[in-house]
Structure 1
Amino acid sequence: MAVRPTIFPRGGYGVLAFLMFLNALFSIFNNFLVIAVTLKNPQLRNPINIFIFNLSFSDLMMSLCGTTIVIATNYHGYFFLGRKFCIFQGFAVNYFGIVSLWSLTILAYERYNVVCQPLGTLQMSTKRGYQLLGFIWIFCLFWAVVPLFGWSSYGPEGVQTSCSIGWEERSWSNYSYLITYFLSCFFIPVTIIGFSYGNVIRSLHGLNKKVEQMGGKCDPEEEFRAVIMVLVMVVAFLICWLPYTVFALTVVFKPSLNISPLAATIPTYLSKTSPVYNPIIYLFLNKQFRDSAVEFITCGQVVLTNPEEEVSTSVAPAECKMPSKINQVTPV
């Protein structure tokens, strides 16, 4: 652990350190802002937004326990903090990463309930939200803890400046863990997200058609914006986690394949970008949050939403209610 690797040019480590510094800077600022604004504004603390708050908290912890550390280790050119700290970093990044991942999954499913199920908005209560949060943290804790007891392990990866699950290790213990881990923490979430948002888009399209048949007016741009934002969510999710999954399962199904350290580093650092764009996608593009964030940052000097606007949106006529459904699906 204390031996400097010679597998990467010294300048390359400097570039990685700089990129991770930018990553940490935006990630910590974005997620801290989400948390602060949500705590300050009671109107943002609805049952659905509980999961967005949880997502921001886990992303913030992932950045503090993971990204900030790899800034220092890349600056030094090797993981100089010792084996125990390596295990801690691997555990923390793994734990908070899959908490974020499952928060996105439950968020997608609950939005499906709101839009596609009868009386969906009544099914989601604060109590149900906290119960689901408890499930997420306990379920993810299991998958983060078991490598500490010998089912797989934590260790350095790629260019040896960060630590995670030892997915490059060739052993049956590691193979069995990786297969069950990625079934539980990638394939199932992807399936739920795809099913949920696919049905959401189909439901919104059907609702638009019904409103038009009844003589109402629908804004096609609302539906188009919903489709685009759902695609952004899914694509961002896959960019972050698909390379990591592919590399890990490649080791399982083709153990003889030699993966270069630089190639092995790519999926690791892609997964560390998720805390940056998650708050942008899920909250910064939400008008209500965006207005509250501007007011918070400017200490109340700039107020973008006045009380009359809030009242007018709450008493919109029947043909204008479609956008409120879309607001439950995706940021606008």
Structure 2
Amino acid sequence: MRKNHGTELPEDFWIPIALDTNNITSLSPFLIPQDHLGNSGIFYAMAGFMFFVFVFGTGINALTIGCTIKYKKLRSHLNYILVNLAIANLLVSCVGSFTAGCSFAARYFVFGPLACKIEGFMATLGGMVSLWSLAVIAFERWLVICKPLGNFLFKSEHALVCCLFTWVFALISSAPPLLGWSRYIPEGLQCSCGPDWYTTNNKYNNESYVMFLFGFCFTVPFATIIFCYSQLLFTLKMAAKAQAESASTQKAEKEVTRMVVIMVMGFLVCWMPYTTFALWVVNNRGQSFDLRLATIPSCFSKSSAVYNPVIYVIFNKQFRSCILEMLGMGGGNEETSTTQSVTEVSKVGPA
């Protein structure tokens, strides 16, 4: 049974395809199933995917936070940033993925227009914190390994300040639609909410907001990640060259190279589809597109709540050991290997 949320004004949503009706409000995504946008199989498949992200993402990120609270040895400056990432992922999975999963299962946004704005804001906030946290991790690795500041020590208080900055930057990025610069509306198949990429409206200035997000929230973090990890790999290769006969050094160089590639690819898989789609829509006003193609990028960005912790936490030997021990599956004796080489994996990456 559908809940009646009353009569919504058309500005609470916008369906970016031509519909055979003179009363767009009658097809409101807050009132009726959006079967006119796609068959039920697509909705249920997306619901299953979102519930998977919700269950797995919530579980692994909650374990990350719980292990850090329980095990004192995990409270290092890098792990504080990983916990910050886990909190952001929890926000995305518990609010964004759960809400989207319920709505896809019902085939319309069952929670109403106010909840749409809240979900859009919270999911965007968590996503932006996640983005900036990935950049901070890369920045921390660059400072620690490449030592551009000489003997400067990156301590826990520095990590906490960086975490604070991620939330400040995320609020700067996600709050404007609540204040009139763009708006949060249902997107794609109308079962999840995000910034309005679609409409040309001088009232909301959507185009300028999209360009702001692209420049400040994608280009800057991505450039930071590429610069820091490229410098890290260069430093690592120089160290490996100087110790060409050391098997452990060569092995570490290969492992870290593989990890860096995985990190960058994970970032691109998560955010490139969403960014590319938003820019395409802004620069191709009036052109029709498949609404399923508008839904997939949104779901990819939400799935970062799963593969971010897989890359940054499960591949971290200390976290993996403590998680297994916390679950009663052993692993308590597994520790990060120590080696005197500056190319040691535990010193040049999250693992």
- By the TM > 0.5 criterion, same fold? yes
Task: Indicate how the Cα distance of structure 1 residues 273 and 294 shifts in structure 2: closer, same or farther if over 3 A, else same.
Answer: same
Whether 1:254 and 2:284 are equivalent positions in the alignment is yes
Aligned ranges 1:3-82 → 2 under 5 Å:
3-5=32-34, 6-82=36-112
Q: Which of 209, 212, 217 is the matching residue for 1:185?
A: 217
Instruction: Please give the per-residue CA displacement for 1:111-164, whole angstroms capped at 9, x wherever unaligned.
Output: 011111157674311221121122111121122111111100000000011101
Give 1:331 deviation, angstroms: 3.8
Q: Which letter does structure 1 place at the counterpart of 2:348?
A: V
Tell me which protein shows more helix as a share of its residues. Answer: 1
CA distance in 2, matches of 1:288, 1:234: 22
Q: How many aligned positions are there?
A: 319
- The percentage of counterpart residues that share the same residue type is 34
Q: Which letter does structure 2 place at the counterpart of 1:327?
A: S
Give 1:328 deviation, angstroms: 2.8
Whether 1:137 and 2:156 are equivalent positions in the alignment is no
Query: Is the 1:211–1:218 Cα contact (8 Å) retained in structure 2?
Result: no
Give 1:217 deviation, angstroms: 5.7
Aligned residue number for residue 16 of structure 2: none
CA distance in 2, matches of 1:50, 1:11: 41
Whether 1:199 and 2:231 are equivalent positions in the alignment is yes
Whether 1:327 and 2:346 are equivalent positions in the alignment is yes
Query: Is the 2:243–2:249 Cα contact (8 Å) retained in structure 1?
Result: no
The farther-off stretch of 252-261 and 231-240 is 252-261
CA distance in 1, matches of 2:151, 2:70: 24
Query: Is the 1:208–1:218 Cα contact (8 Å) retained in structure 2?
Result: no
CA distance in 2, matches of 1:206, 1:231: 18
Q: Which of 101, 124, 127 is the matching residue for 1:94?
A: 124
Aligned residue number for residue 149 of structure 1: 179
Aligned residue number for residue 127 of structure 1: 157
Task: Indicate how the Cα distance of structure 1 residues 46 and 119 shifts in structure 2: closer, same or farther if over 3 A, else same.
Answer: farther
TM-score of the two chains, using structure 1 as the length reference: 0.91
Query: Is the 1:112–1:197 Cα contact (8 Å) retained in structure 2?
Result: yes
Q: Specify every segment of 5 or more residues in structure 1 that has no aligned partner in the other structure, as ranges.
A: none
Query: Is the 1:62–1:97 Cα contact (8 Å) retained in structure 2?
Result: yes
Q: Which letter does structure 2 place at the counterpart of 1:128?
A: H
CA distance in 2, matches of 1:51, 1:151: 30
Q: Specify every segment of 5 or more residues in structure 2 that has no aligned partner in the other structure, as ranges.
A: 1-29
Q: Which letter does structure 2 place at the counterpart of 1:2?
A: L
Give 1:170 deviation, angstroms: 2.3
Instruction: Please give the per-residue CA displacement for 1:63-88, whole angstroms capped at 9, x wherever unaligned.
Output: 00110111111111101211000000
Task: Indicate how the Cα distance of structure 1 residues 321 and 219 shifts in structure 2: closer, same or farther if over 3 A, else same.
Answer: closer
CA distance in 1, matches of 2:219, 2:90: 24
Task: Indicate how the Cα distance of structure 1 residues 246 and 119 shifts in structure 2: closer, same or farther if over 3 A, else same.
Answer: closer
Query: Is the 2:236–2:343 Cα contact (8 Å) retained in structure 1?
Result: no
TM-score of the two chains, using structure 2 as the length reference: 0.86
